[in-house]
Each structure stands twice: as structure tokens, then as C-alpha cells.
Structure 1
């Protein structure tokens, strides 16, 4: 049985979005279709997209590797046949600390685990830590962050500032998370500069992202609506290319890129030595 015209259009848009960036989670693909105004933002539409992506992978129209499930992952134990086989892992894994020569310490905080793949790909070359909150972070996560920032501020006996770049939804909770993060870190006598980089009201207008209504059950809704109006948009709706560019720009303008390049040069020399030692064993 052939697909209906609406289903064909959804599949075409999904393949287009995934061709621009993959892998994505089902949730990411769904919000990309919402932002492109292919579907409405409803639970029924989400399930329809989920079913369509399953069918398209079964028929080979969408590669299995283009869709990922970041929650259901096997916890495997790393093993190697011998030291020479481990040498390749060592080559890929060894990273020299870039923060010893940086004027400030930078971290990125992300509200949505579904987007962490995009963020990890962008941040890895810079050695920037990604903290995924999945909403409001628990106190243990906040305490651990405070310890990291305290150590970073006194790295090698010199003081330097810490900047946290925050990416989250534009809704009552998403807008309040920056305040919450600042206040809870201050409980541990840590006061980094916290900047919300996305999603902003300007992003919604600039990229014409389709809004939803703010959740009235959220205790922060009344204050949010009074300030911004009855509008709510998830970070997932922002085009992946825009999100990558925003993240890259915000990180790079706070780092000494020349210092990182010098660290990478020394790192390459050390990797060759390490691989030679392991391969000869």
C-alpha cells in the first residue's frame, strides 16, 4: 500500500534534515519537522513521526546509523587482543591538557540530552567539558561543578575566571535555569559568569520557529508569560547547522586558539612516542 501525500512529505523533510546532520534522536527529527512547519507540535504527530522513522529504516530509505537512542546503550567492557591493538586506542584517546595555557576556564551546559551528540562533536576538538542537565541539575551535579570551577580558578597557582555557556529551551523552566544555576553554585561560594546562548526570543523570531503555549502547570509560567508572552519553543527546533555555528562561535571567542594549536602540536609528538612504545611491546 502506497503512502499518503502527507506521509511522503514528512519523510522527505525528515531525510532532508538528517542529510544535513546525523545521527539525530527521534525527538530531534520531530522538532526539525515542527520548525520547518511540516507538522504541528502535538503528541499524536510525535508518535506518527516515530512510526514513520521506524518504517523508513526497515525499508532502507533512512540508514539505521542516522537515528540514535542516547538512553538505551549497552555498557561494554573494553578489551584488546594485545598491546599493539591497544596502541590504536591510545592514539585516539590521548589528549594533552589544553587548560594549562588558557586565560579562562569554559564549560558548556545543555538542558537536553537528545542534543548532546551535536555538542560533543563540536566541543571535543577544544577540550571543553559538556554538562548535560536533563532539566534542573541535581545538587550532586552542582557540587561537582563547583569543585571543578574551584580547581580551574586556581590552576597552576594562578587565578582565572570561569564562564559557563548555557543552552536550553525558551520556556518558563528553561529561562529560569540560568538563575537557578547561579544561585546554587553560589551556595558553594562559586560565582562563574553564566551566559544563556540559546534558545532566545530573538532566535524564535529570526528563524521563524513555530511556538507552543507555555505550560500553565509550571510554577514559573505566570512570571514568564508576563515578561515574554504565552510562547514556548524547545531548543531542538533550532536548525542543527545554526546550533553548531552558535556553539562554535561562543566557545572560540573565549579561548586562546593559538595556545590550543601549540598544545596539539606537542600532543601529536607524544602520541607517536606512545604508539611506538606500545607497538614494540
Structure 2
């Protein structure tokens, strides 16, 4: 967990408390092997404390405090990640034997072979993609962040995959997770309509979260998006 100081910063007592609370929230996610985006961290502040009002100014203020804290060696550099910007690079080996050794580690059988269904998990928010992945990857279950309403390009590609699943004798299933708000609920309808009606592939779509019975049971904090 790299705490590396690159610059000295003087923090007010109030801002130091914010850094300490941020590290508490970060540790909760790290215990599950997860990193946060700045936006996720901000929403955890809004949901679990009254430190900030939910405003764009608050979001920018938290970003500045966390940036300074990382530079000062107070926040782990690997605890917060930018999922929208990634370097594309290529693997290299010193010899063919190295390729074979690595290939042995990549090899796995298709766990869906011979199964009646073939399941994909679709989640509305990219911020939750890693959380979904922790459950999906051990089951060899493909997963996908829709980033709101799924683009027509990705919906078409999904329809092509599902046609292949059907040709291989599977019944395609989408497990969908979305926000419990008008657009988040409507996204489930949109998936069904475009996959089944527009592209003509029969797919079972099961919305497992967030549903009203879960809201009533768990009483989650009501957090709106960052106002503009």
C-alpha cells in the first residue's frame, strides 16, 4: 500500500479530519480487495456523513483535498483509480518457453459447456463493475458495465453473442443491476425491448437490484447525483 510523499502540504484540522475519514472508507473497500474512484468516495461521504452538502463544489473540494493528501503521503496511491483512462500495452516474452508457461496459467475449461443457460451480468454503473466482477469471475460469468442506457453498438454486439449462445444450445440470460430511479428502472425495459424486439433474439432478463423490496428492507441512504 504505497504512501509516498512527493510534496509537503499543510492541512487545516477540518481537512485532516476529512482525510482520516476518507482513509476509513478506503480501508472498508480495500478489505474486500477493491479500489475506489473519486466519485465513489464522494458518494460514500454523502451517504455516511454530513461533512459535505451534495454539490458540485463539494465534489471539487473533496477532489482537491484527496489530491493534496496523496501528494503528501497521507492517502495510498493505489486506493483510488481512474477507470476512464488506461494505458494499452502489449505482453512480451524472452523466449517461447515463457509464452507456454504463461499460457498454462491462462488455460481454463468453459464452465458453461453443456449448461442449459448462459448468463451475463450487466450493471448500470461502471463504478460497480469491479464489485460485480468479484462475484462473476470465479463462476466464469461474463459481465459488463452499461454506463447508463447501453449504446446501440454494444446492444447489437450483445445480440450477436446471444445468437451464438442459442446456436450452441444455450438459453441466454441477462442479470441486470440498475439504480432505483426512473431511468435506472427503465433501462431494464430498454434492454428487453431492444434485444428481444429490435434484434430478434429471445433473452431472459432478470433484474435483481435495486428493487423496491430491497429498498424497504435495507433502507439505503438517498443520494442523488452530483448537481451541476
Indicate the TM-score class for this superposition, using the shorter chain for normalisation.
Answer: 0.7 to 0.9
- TM-score computed with the length of structure 2 as normaliser: 0.82
How far apart, in 1, do the equivalents of 2:13 and 2:149 lie?
Answer: 41
Q: Displacement, 1:105? A: 0.9
Return 175-184 or 31-40, whichever deviates more.
Answer: 31-40
2:175 corresponds to 1:175: no
Is contact 1:10-1:33 (8 Å) kept? no
Specify every segment of 5 or more residues in structure 2 that has no aligned partner in the other structure, as ranges.
1-9
Aligned to 2:118: 105
Shift in alpha-carbon separation, 1:60–1:200, aligned structure 2, 3 A: farther
Where relative contact order (Cα < 8 A, 6+ residues apart) is larger, the structure is 1
2:161 corresponds to 1:153: no
How far apart, in 2, do the equivalents of 1:65 and 1:41 lie?
Answer: 26
2:201 to 185, 190, 215: 190
2:60 corresponds to 1:51: no
Aligned length: 211
How far apart, in 2, do the equivalents of 1:47 and 1:200 lie?
Answer: 31
Q: Displacement, 1:204? A: 4.0
Q: Describe how 1:1-281 pairs up with structure 2 within 5 A.
A: 1-5=10-14, 7-21=15-29, 22-38=34-50, 39-155=52-168, 158=169, 160-186=170-196, 187-205=198-216, 206-212=218-224
How far apart, in 2, do the equivalents of 1:110 and 1:204 lie?
Answer: 17
- TM-score computed with the length of structure 1 as normaliser: 0.68
SS at match of 1:99: coil
Is contact 1:34-1:210 (8 Å) kept? no
Q: Displacement, 1:184? A: 0.4
Write the deviation string for residues 165-186 of structure 1: whole angstroms up to 9, x where unpaired: 1122222211110011100012
RMSD: 2.3
Q: Displacement, 1:201? A: 3.6
Specify every segment of 5 or more residues in structure 1 that has no aligned partner in the other structure, as ranges.
216-281
Write the deviation string for residues 80-118 of structure 1: whole angstroms up to 9, x where unpaired: 111233344323322221110323111011221222222
Is contact 2:19-2:65 (8 Å) kept? yes
How far apart, in 1, do the equivalents of 2:106 and 2:68 lie?
Answer: 37
How far apart, in 1, do the equivalents of 2:36 and 2:101 lie?
Answer: 28
Larger % of helix: which?
A: 1
